[in-house]
Amino acid sequence: MTRCAHCGSEVDAAVIAGGDAGTPFCCAGCAAAHALVCDLDLADYYRRRALDPSQAPTRPDGADLATDWSAFVRPNGIALRLDLMVDGLQCAACVWLIEQVLRRDPRVSAVRLNMTTRRLALAWQGDHRDADSILAPVVKLGYRLAPYDPRRLDAASAAEEGLLLRAMAVAGFGAANIMLLSVSVWAGHVQDMGPATRDLMHWLSALVALPVIAYAGRPFFASALAALRGGRTNMDVPISLGVILATMMSLAETWTGGSHAYFDAAVALLFFLLIGRTLDARARGKARSAAERLVALQAIAATVIDASGLHRRVAAAALEPGMRVLVAAGERVPADGRVLSASSELDISLLNGETVPQQVGVNDRVFAGTVNLGQPLTLEVSAVGEGTLLAEIVRLMEAAEQGRARHVAIADRVSRLYAPVVHAAALATFLGWWLGVGAPWQPALLNAIAVLIVTCPCALALAVPVVQIVACGRLLRRGILVKSPTALERLARVDTVVFDKTGTLTTGRLELVGAAANDDLHVAASLAAASRHPLARALVRAAPAVVPAPAVREVAGQGLSLSTPQGEIRLGSRRWCGVDEGAAAGPELWLAQPGRTPIRFALLDRPRTDAADTVDRLKRSGLDVELLSGDRAPTVSALAAQLGIARWQAELAPADKVARLATLNSASRRTLMVGDGLNDAPALAAASVSMSPASAADISQTAADLVFQGERLDAVREALDVARRAERLVRQNFGLALAYNLLTVPLAVMGLVTPLVAAIAMSTSSLVVIANSCRLMARSSAP
């Protein structure tokens, strides 16, 4: 077995050899890409790169060679600017190669590819339309590009992340410097530091602490204020209260020349908490930007035919009813509409999960999101925005989301119980010392504030975010993106898993079943190579080394034909090949050769390789598994039997799926919905938590809480497993944090907590919680 010299996928040596030394290639596209790289004198790339075996090979498929980017170009000073997302990056050498290729173009004035976010910023001088020719070599190399609007995408999350990071830096500066001063004060307790020097230290601490707290505490103060205004409490309320009271009291102590100043504890608390928040925001930002990239890659542009017959590319969002749109073969239909001319077949699997393409002719209605498989179609746009089927599905989805029981994050539930108890304890301490013991009110107040400081929930506030970061990071490395902050909590409590069929349990790609005679398969595949029809593509995949036959004629909805000296060879439907009418059992193709009886090729949308295994494991771990599909009953029942799923329903409309989930929810089941189609989006929103594969329709990915990449369905089990262990760790962390409080609160009530004790106790409890959370990282996944 040798490897393709460009994309690195395994090939038979015999497939295609090119170049001077008979270099092996898997396809003509790779050979062309290799030649391009060598021509540009960049062959070093092949020496420098390190291919990632877990990623799909970067193989040019030729389908999107001609894309018009001009609709997304923005003027930027005297230059033009285009922002793109790049898919297919394997390593740093890919970044180097793309930048070098673009730099060789004399028109390009600046190019920078960010490897972390996979965003490419390109600037050039000249015309809008130059973008196509500048970017063509990159597409030819096998990378996929998608335009995006940077102003729309980043603004909010980037601003939040920046604020947290700056606040953390300021708090870190303050914590380090105040601790420096505090250490000398503590050392002074045993080495008789004079009260004047101690007061100087306290004043200096105050000088640093006050602006630092005012700046770095803003994220907490703002959130606490918002919660209080809404009549709720959250974790930020006790935090803010503790920090503010500690600061006020320390200021009063400093003013009166007292010995107890808690500036160090207050600032260190903010610093620890900000570390947790920043990491949390970064991890989620990373997952979100990865999800956005996936969606952007599927974003569509439309070709509009204007009154004078000119073709113009516009963003799909800019379409208006009445416009005429051309949908080329292989393109996604950009809007709902009516067919004006030609007839073709549409892949509607994203819409309703059906694998067999639908026939459309003049005046038929077509829907956004379907893929044109046959001839180019001209459509008249009938509805955009609110009027489309897509918008209807969105409305259904929003309704389902409102019906979903509002999940309260575990941290908020704990803090709802915690805050009143702590505040009551502080009040009781004050009253006990003042009225009970008969102490003057100042020391009584001091002790009450000490209670608030030591119970300030540093460890408690870290308990959830640290586990989440570790868990999300772990899942991200396995190609599972966690989009919603509470998704893991909800996932841990799931008891029913509901699957969609097409594209979820199955690969969504048809494959040849049974072995046909090799010669026949070769003949059939050589014809099929001329078509984009999914049945034909499946045949070609089964015989990849076949040379396409020239001059194949395609009749939409019927089949292919090739004239040979011996007579006509036909490949297509039953009727096209002259077979007597009969019921077709599932998708099939017939091959009719002159003088021979037609041969049948049966095709099947195979389940993912590990689907049966995953379903079995889920059932063994005590979960109920259900199958809800929009496809026909025989197909669904066959698959359910094959995978061992007892409960299944077929031919469901999107609303039926939502209804079924509502039934389950009202029976107080906690459901995990796994689906990919447009028709699944409302159901994804209705379930208590949802997952969808990265190949899903973009609206489904938006609706889903988690998105998983790759072919393996095992991701579902992996996510459940990590979520359950994360839940256990969160509970342990709460236990540890509460145990720490049980230990320190009595000390504080008795008035024994000095600033030194507070600082030590707070750091250790936080470190213990962080260390406990990191166990999730170390332990390997259970088999």
Partner 1 sequence: MTVLAVLIPIALMLGVLGLAAFLWSLRHGQYDDLDGAAHRILFDDDRRPGPPR
Residues forming the active site:
500
Neighbours of 67 (CB within 10 A): 17
Token pair for 503: 């594209």
Q: At what angle do helices 714-749 and 755-773 cross, to 10 degrees?
A: 170
Contact 560, 554 (CB under 8 A): yes
| Nearer to partner 1 (CB atom), residue 169 or residue 659 | 169
Q: How far is the CB of 437 from partner 1 (least distance, A)?
A: 39
Contact 137, 99 (CB under 8 A): no
Q: How far is the CB of 177 from partner 1 (least distance, A)?
A: 5
- Distance between CA atoms of residues 351 and 388, nearest Å: 13
- What is the C-alpha end-to-end distance of the chain, expressed in Å? 32
Q: How far is the CB of 263 from partner 1 (least distance, A)?
A: 14
Contact 624, 363 (CB under 8 A): no
Helices within 256-316 (DSSP H only): 263-297
* Cα Rg of the chain (Å, integer): 32
Please give the single-letter amino acid code of residue 85. Answer: M
- Distance between CA atoms of residues 323 and 382, nearest Å: 8
- Distance between CA atoms of residues 545 and 531, nearest Å: 16
Q: How far is the CB of 154 from partner 1 (least distance, A)?
A: 11
| Nearer to partner 1 (CB atom), residue 155 or residue 638 | 155
| Nearer to partner 1 (CB atom), residue 113 or residue 686 | 113
| Nearer to partner 1 (CB atom), residue 118 or residue 660 | 118
Contact 625, 364 (CB under 8 A): no
Please give the single-letter amino acid code of residue 711. Answer: E
Contact 500, 680 (CB under 8 A): yes
| Nearer to partner 1 (CB atom), residue 211 or residue 746 | 211
- Distance between CA atoms of residues 483 and 476, nearest Å: 11
Q: How far is the CB of 169 from partner 1 (least distance, A)?
A: 5
Q: How far is the CB of 194 from partner 1 (least distance, A)?
A: 8
- Distance between CA atoms of residues 471 and 716, nearest Å: 14
Q: How far is the CB of 754 from partner 1 (least distance, A)?
A: 23
Q: How far is the CB of 183 from partner 1 (least distance, A)?
A: 12
| Nearer to partner 1 (CB atom), residue 174 or residue 369 | 174
- Distance between CA atoms of residues 337 and 104, nearest Å: 43
Q: How far is the CB of 92 from partner 1 (least distance, A)?
A: 3
Helix (H) or strand (E) holding 84: strand 79-87
| Nearer to partner 1 (CB atom), residue 102 or residue 650 | 102
| Nearer to partner 1 (CB atom), residue 161 or residue 616 | 161
| Nearer to partner 1 (CB atom), residue 174 or residue 457 | 174
Residues with Cβ < 8 Å from 712, sequence gap 6 or more?
Answer: 608, 609, 610
- The SS3 assignment for 624 reads strand
- 372 pairs with which residues across the strands? 346
Contact 763, 268 (CB under 8 A): yes
Token pair for 552: 């194949």
- Distance between CA atoms of residues 349 and 369, nearest Å: 9
- Distance between CA atoms of residues 424 and 434, nearest Å: 15
Q: What is the widest separation between alpha-carbon atoms in the chain?
A: 115
Distinct helix (H) and strand (E) counts, the chain: 26, 31
Contact 273, 462 (CB under 8 A): yes
Token pair for 169: 């830096």
- Distance between CA atoms of residues 451 and 69, nearest Å: 63
Token pair for 73: 């170009």
Residues with Cβ < 8 Å from 33, sequence gap 6 or more?
Answer: 6, 60, 140, 141, 142
What number of residues does the chain have?
783
| Nearer to partner 1 (CB atom), residue 188 or residue 586 | 188
Q: How far is the CB of 85 from partner 1 (least distance, A)?
A: 14
Contact residues toward partner 1 (CB under 8 A) are 41, 48, 91-93, 95-96, 100, 106, 113-117, 162, 165-166, 169-170, 173, 176-177, 180-181, 197, 200, 204, 208
Please give the single-letter amino acid code of residue 78. Answer: I
| Nearer to partner 1 (CB atom), residue 278 or residue 496 | 278
| Nearer to partner 1 (CB atom), residue 188 or residue 376 | 188
Contact 373, 533 (CB under 8 A): yes
Q: How far is the CB of 176 from partner 1 (least distance, A)?
A: 7
Classify residue 101 by burial, with Cβ atoms within 10 Å: 0-12, 13-18, 19+. buried
| Nearer to partner 1 (CB atom), residue 96 or residue 600 | 96
Please give the single-letter amino acid code of residue 196. Answer: A
- Distance between CA atoms of residues 450 and 239, nearest Å: 14
Note the Cα 299 to chain centre separation in Å: 15
Helix (H) or strand (E) holding 570: strand 567-572
Q: How far is the CB of 105 from partner 1 (least distance, A)?
A: 10
Residues with Cβ < 8 Å from 135, sequence gap 6 or more?
Answer: 69, 84, 102, 122, 145
- Distance between CA atoms of residues 181 and 201, nearest Å: 6
